[in-house]
Structure 1
Amino acid sequence: VTTAASSNSSLRTFVSGPEVLSAEVYWALDVMGNHGSFNSCNGKGQLFHLMFPDSNIASKFTCGEDKAAYLTTFGIAPHFSSLLLSKVKNASDYVLLFDESLNRPLQSKQLDVHVRFWDGDHVSTRFFDSHFLGHACADDLYKPLRTNCNTVGIHGILQLSMDGPNVNLKLFDMLSRDLEEETGSKLLYIGSCGLHVMHNAFKAGSNTTTWDIEHTLSCLYWLFKDSPARRDDYTKVTGSTVFPLRYCQHRWLENVTVLERAITIWPQIQTYVANVNASKLPHPKNKSFESVEKACTDPMFLVKANIFLSVAQECQPFLIKYQTDKPMLPFLADDLFTTLIHLLQRFTAVKLFSEDFKDRSNHKDASLINIGFVADKQLSELKVRKKVSEQDVLIVRKETKEFLVTALTKLLEKCPLKYTLVRNLAWLDPQKIKEKPSLCEKQLRLCLQIISSAGKVRENKCDTILNQFRDFAVICKTSEEASEWPTGAHSRLDTFFHAQLAKEHAFKDLWEIVQKVLLLSHGQASVERGFSVNKNITVTNMKERTLIAQRVIVDHLHHVGGVTNVGMTKELLQSAGCARQRYHAYLYEENKKREHTQQTKKRQVLQDEVDQMKMKRSKLQTNINALLTSADELAIEAEASDKISVLAKSNALRKAAKDKEQELKKYDKNIEKKTNEMKQL
């Protein structure tokens, strides 16, 4: 009776009403949304009992560390994953975005895969899956990505969005070949991520100078990082509590702020260094101080820093604008071209890239090179005060030109402007449709040639699409929404065209091609943001499955706008209710795998022992045969010569062979024993 009562009590603990389960699900979602740990859930049930003594739900609430863990990993995350997969499968086309980075706590490379698809009236980019790798060559990346394609359906993939390493280009070729063999169509290619290209071009340009600005900015931060004594000394001699910010080569947007901070506090930095050199403050014994001290002796450091800042600010608007998941590809060519022209006009009078900007005959005189307003003013002041020579001024202006030439060369080498499809997508700009319909029609025609040759639209539909576009362009001229775009009701291209075309049967074929083009990804911003999420949620000893589950939940919460917007549907509750059962099934399977692994290891150990014994037995048998052969030969010799001593030797060899035969039988028994043990495993 006691056992039955205890069992019923235990059952009541885990079998609660939907209200209690809903509360536990919401609690688990809130923990995930705030990147909390499962351990933080311990004791919350008792706390809620005390806080809400009159609540029946609070009295039954039990969501400690273990329950929160299996509820999220085996209940909530699978449901959210199934919702996403259903949406992607229902969409006719999709784009995969991927990138990998080192996951330090797990000590493996984490390959994050995002999927881009039409979700109702807009294009959505969502986290789809993660894979954990040791090596990350093309073959290693191909297997998990091909698995994801198979899960969704490879026939629907339009594009593989990625950054630019050669490994990724080989991977693109492998998947594109698969797609062509299986469906007859090809992947659309628009180059690598424009954000990466812009950042890497700026970095390549800065590396051609001798200014070492990036290294100095890094040393500035680390000089005062984790050093309360130095921070205190700095504050005492300067009266400032403003310190350098961290410079990171991988943060595209934040480096302008870092440089602005460094320029602002540079007089205080010089004061601090001067006091150290005057022995009024302790001398930091590190390389960071040596680098900062060296920069302080350069009268043109601020000039160089402001040139660096001026060029960075030229690139920043593009980087900010394209840190979005909204469809932006139709504007990419114009925005890239504008940035290129601005950089070009700093050192040359050439207005178009038809002329060779590397040709020195097209370059401005060194004194006319645009180094930025602030830098130019500072340089003039230094000349007046005779702090720098004409030669110094000439050198810094020439280095600025080399900076710009290298950056532009890198941009043109890698940027998406190389591709016809990218250069001709402006036909999707509502303003251009209204103002330049003929030009837009030409661009659409070029796009259709590329897309139809890739097998993504039938050629016999192209004339219909062009006719429908002409009709749509006429409507746009008088459309209020087109006139108000992008400040009107639809500030996104996807929602604008959905409102204009989706429900109009007369534009059915045009809408089909618009959907495909707006789906194409302009960059990797969503994947890069995901790396920050990984860092926030990953803890030591976390299982890979748990990490993926948390990423799925965090992505869903971001998509719906927070925990309070999650619908507590019947399906979600059913999935959450099955979490414990799935968890135990998972533990059972893991235990079986562990046992199988142990048995395999034991079997291998036994097999090695058997192989070793067989080898020794073989050698022993050879030895016995040799002894018997020698004994026979000696016996024949003894018979022929009547020598007793020779016969005695023959008998001794036979006795030795007989003893070894006994040892041979022991080997046979041991081999049989080990073989039987292997059969029982």
Structure 2
Amino acid sequence: MHFLFYNVPARREVFTNLTRSSCFPLSFCGHRWVENVPVAERAIKVWPMLQKFVDAAEDKRVQKPSTASYDAILAARGDPLVIAKLEFFLAIARSFNPFLQRYQTDEPVLPFLVKDLTELLMSLLRRFIKRELLQDQTPLQLTKMDISEEKNWVSLKSLDIGLGAESAIKALLGKPGNKIGELSVLNFRRECLQCLVKVVKKLQDKCPLKFPVNEQGPEWCITQMKNLVQTFIQGKQLAGGIAAGDVIIQQFTSFLSVESREEEFVSFQPLSQRLDVFLHSKLCTSHPDLLKFCQSVLLLSHGQATVERGFSVNKEVETCNLLDESLEALRLICDKVIGCGGILKVPLTKELLASAASARSHYRLYLENERKKKESATQELKRKAAEKELEDLRNQRRVLRVVCDSLEVDADKFAEIAEGKTGTKMAELITKSNSLRRRHKDKKAELLQVDKMIEEKATQLRHL
């Protein structure tokens, strides 16, 4: 639909004059569900006007487009269920929309992925799977459910294809002289069912709900925390040793069993408040040892990621008007100092002392290299501009030569014709011939001037 009127102002004007509507189809993107909901809504809205335009084109009241997009619309016009199909697509797209919009964000919402993905999968399964088979199913069981078995499906008449598609079918069946029957509707429902099976099958294959980690409860979390603390103790990375580890495990167990059941946790909205900020506010007062340990663990896996914004050292080395090379060098220096344990613990090697002594000369050499690079870039730009100007002058000379030759030929032609004429006709032809010769003389002078400019520009280019 979109490409029928895309970059065709004349066709858009004809459509507007014919339908009295300036509403046009939107562009469809096959891999962006979020953007395609308004596309399908617009398609349903403009479909009656498109039918009117196609009718006018077929009746030759307007020019018939000879494009593949018009042929596709012409074929779709012969399908009475096209609106029902669009409504079904909208119903499925609207099921995905909230999930996709929620997880296209910089906020740390990954801990809520299992719950939201389970709800999305369940909402799709309810459309065509019998309700008794969905009772008390875990996320892992939902991913392993055999949806290709027909015995698990509801009947075609009970299939949930969306209110819009149901309304479109009822309107078609109740319309006088309708061209569809119950068999066509059942075939449409069967196609919708097959579409749902493919969508859910793809979701089952790709979604992370099938991983065992999603099925674990608080006891599993406590076990993993104990293993993590033991790893830190064995690596001598936990200040306080075993005593500190016992305190961390005790605080973690208390946090899971007591505080996580508070009303604030139940009503938490990840898009209105960052999860890391919320957890920090809960841990900093009553569980300081657990908070410090979690910060250390997160730094191991995420480094300078956004979830540890309080630990980033980028702001400490950033200043105004700092080049990329300087920023990278400062960051490397900071990392080295931190790795050595502080500024006073950095070893003063011979290489470091020699580099510090020759720092000024290195800086001057760098400035000289940068100046040469800048001059070279400027010279290259001048050369390209001169080459472009020279090419334009040569094209102009080529055109002037063609014009001069044409004027000379036409002037000679009129002069030859005038020799065989007498009176007024001869005078008129001679006047035309003389006029062309004057124009030829002017163009010849202009051509000589262009030749001179080309020679000057070529000489200038050779010295660049």
Which of the five TM-score ranges fits, normalised by the shorter chain?
0.5 to 0.7
Q: Is the counterpart of residue 444 in structure 1 residue 201 in structure 2? A: no
Partners in 2 of 1:387 and 1:457 — Cα distance? 77
Alignment CA distance shift 1:326-1:514 (3 Å): farther
Q: Is the counterpart of residue 493 in structure 1 residue 270 in structure 2? A: no
Give how far 1:408 is off.
Answer: 1.0
Give how far 1:483 is off.
Answer: 6.3
Q: 1:266 aligns with which of 47, 57, 63?
A: 47
Partners in 2 of 1:389 and 1:457 — Cα distance? 74
Q: Is the counterpart of residue 585 in structure 1 residue 369 in structure 2? A: yes
Q: Is the counterpart of residue 365 in structure 1 residue 149 in structure 2? A: no
Give how far 1:248 is off.
Answer: 1.5
Alignment CA distance shift 1:333-1:477 (3 Å): closer
* Higher RCO by CA contacts (8 Å cutoff, separation 6 or greater): 1
- The answer as to whether partners of 2:248 and 2:289 remain within 8 angstroms in 1 is no
Deviations 1:420-449 (A, max 9, x none): 33555xxxxxxxxxxxxxx4x135247659
Deviations 1:341-387 (A, max 9, x none): 11011001131326422221111011111000110121122223343
Alignment CA distance shift 1:404-1:290 (3 Å): same
Give how far 1:501 is off.
Answer: 2.0
- Consecutive unaligned residues of structure 1, counting only runs of 5 or more, are 1-219, 425-438, 521-525, 527-566, 593-681
Q: Is the counterpart of residue 249 in structure 1 residue 30 in structure 2? A: yes
Supply the AA of the counterpart residue of 1:496: F
- The match for 1:278 is 59
| SS of the residue 2:123 aligns to | helix
- The match for 2:431 is none
- The answer as to whether partners of 1:469 and 1:510 remain within 8 angstroms in 2 is no
Q: Pairwise mapping of residues 416-565 of structure 1 onto structure 2 (< 5 A)?
A: 416-424=208-216, 439=217, 441-445=218-222, 448=225, 465-473=248-256, 476=259, 481-482=264-265, 485-486=268-269, 491-502=273-284, 504-508=287-291, 511-512=294-295, 515=298
Q: 2:170 aligns with which of 365, 375, 380?
A: 380
Alignment CA distance shift 1:235-1:417 (3 Å): same
- The answer as to whether partners of 2:226 and 2:249 remain within 8 angstroms in 1 is no
Supply the AA of the counterpart residue of 1:507: L
Alignment CA distance shift 1:456-1:284 (3 Å): farther
Partners in 2 of 1:324 and 1:589 — Cα distance? 41
Supply the AA of the counterpart residue of 1:493: L
- The answer as to whether partners of 2:124 and 2:196 remain within 8 angstroms in 1 is yes
| SS of the residue 2:280 aligns to | helix
Alignment CA distance shift 1:234-1:317 (3 Å): same
Give how far 1:388 is off.
Answer: 1.1
Partners in 2 of 1:241 and 1:337 — Cα distance? 42
Give how far 1:239 is off.
Answer: 0.6
- The match for 2:449 is none
- The match for 1:79 is none
Q: 1:341 aligns with which of 122, 128, 131?
A: 122
Q: State TM-score, norm by structure 1.
A: 0.41
Partners in 2 of 1:307 and 1:457 — Cα distance? 58
- The answer as to whether partners of 1:238 and 1:268 remain within 8 angstroms in 2 is yes
Give how far 1:278 is off.
Answer: 0.9
- The answer as to whether partners of 2:24 and 2:46 remain within 8 angstroms in 1 is yes
Give how far 1:325 is off.
Answer: 1.3
User: More helix by proportion, 1 or 2?
Assistant: 2
Q: Pairwise mapping of residues 17-96 of structure 1 onto structure 2 (< 5 A)?
A: none
Q: 2:104 aligns with which of 310, 323, 328?
A: 323
Give how far 1:281 is off.
Answer: 0.7
- Consecutive unaligned residues of structure 2, counting only runs of 5 or more, are 236-241, 307-314, 328-362, 377-464
Alignment CA distance shift 1:348-1:456 (3 Å): farther
Partners in 2 of 1:228 and 1:242 — Cα distance? 14
Partners in 2 of 1:390 and 1:417 — Cα distance? 39
Q: Pairwise mapping of residues 301-312 of structure 1 onto structure 2 (< 5 A)?
A: 301-312=82-93
- The match for 1:414 is 206
Partners in 2 of 1:395 and 1:457 — Cα distance? 65
- The match for 2:345 is none
Give how far 1:509 is off.
Answer: 6.2
Give how far 1:476 is off.
Answer: 2.0
Deviations 1:634-678 (A, max 9, x none): xxxxxxxxxxxxxxxxxxxxxxxxxxxxxxxxxxxxxxxxxxxxx
- The match for 1:662 is none
Supply the AA of the counterpart residue of 2:150: R
Q: Is the counterpart of residue 229 in structure 1 residue 3 in structure 2? A: no
Partners in 2 of 1:233 and 1:508 — Cα distance? 68
Partners in 1 of 2:168 and 2:269 — Cα distance? 40
Supply the AA of the counterpart residue of 1:276: A
- The answer as to whether partners of 1:468 and 1:510 remain within 8 angstroms in 2 is no
Q: Could you say what the CA RMSD is over the residues aligned between the two structures, in angstroms?
A: 4.2
Alignment CA distance shift 1:269-1:514 (3 Å): farther
- The answer as to whether partners of 1:223 and 1:288 remain within 8 angstroms in 2 is yes
Partners in 2 of 1:491 and 1:343 — Cα distance? 29
- The answer as to whether partners of 1:221 and 1:245 remain within 8 angstroms in 2 is yes
Alignment CA distance shift 1:590-1:267 (3 Å): same
Partners in 1 of 2:245 and 2:12 — Cα distance? 67
Alignment CA distance shift 1:408-1:483 (3 Å): closer
Aligned length: 313
Deviations 1:139-178 (A, max 9, x none): xxxxxxxxxxxxxxxxxxxxxxxxxxxxxxxxxxxxxxxx
User: More strand by proportion, 1 or 2?
Assistant: 1
The range that moved more, 281-290 or 379-388, is 379-388
Partners in 1 of 2:76 and 2:180 — Cα distance? 15
Q: 1:398 aligns with which of 190, 198, 209?
A: 190
- The answer as to whether partners of 1:348 and 1:363 remain within 8 angstroms in 2 is yes
| SS of the residue 1:571 aligns to | coil
Give how far 1:418 is off.
Answer: 2.2
Q: State TM-score, norm by structure 2.
A: 0.58
- The answer as to whether partners of 2:4 and 2:69 remain within 8 angstroms in 1 is yes
- The match for 2:94 is 313
Q: Is the counterpart of residue 571 in structure 1 residue 352 in structure 2? A: no
Deviations 1:199-225 (A, max 9, x none): xxxxxxxxxxxxxxxxxxxxx111100
- The answer as to whether partners of 1:329 and 1:422 remain within 8 angstroms in 2 is no
